[in-house]
Amino acid sequence: MNDMTDESRKPGDPERREFLGKVTGAVAGAGVAAACWPFVRSMYPAADILEKGTSTIKLGNIAPGEMKTVAWQGKPVFVLHRTDEQAERMMHSEGGNKDPQSDEQRVQKPDWLVVVGLCTHLGCVPVRHSDGWSCPCHGSEFDNSGRVLKGPAPTNLMVPDYRFDDDDAIVIGEV
Binding mask 8-47 for other proteins (x = CB under 8 A): ------------------------------xx-xxxx-xx
- Residue 172 C-beta: closest distance to other proteins, Å: 23
Write the CB contacts of 93 (distance below 8 Å, at least 6 apart in sequence): 103, 143, 145
CA distance 31 to 27: 6
CA distance 99 to 87: 19
The reply to whether 138 belongs to the active site is yes
Q: Of the two residues 6 and 48, which places its CB atom closer to other proteins in the complex? A: 48
- Residue 4 C-beta: closest distance to other proteins, Å: 18
Contact (Cβ atoms closer than 8 angstroms) between residue 157 and residue 145: no
- Residue 162 C-beta: closest distance to other proteins, Å: 26
Helix (H, G, I), strand (E, B) or coil at 128: strand
Binding mask 44-73 for other proteins (x = CB under 8 A): x-xxx-------------------------
Q: In what order do the strands lie in the sheet with 127-129?
A: 127-129, 132-134, 141-142, 148-150
Interface with other proteins (CB under 8 A):
38-39, 41-44, 46-48
Show which residues are catalytic. 138
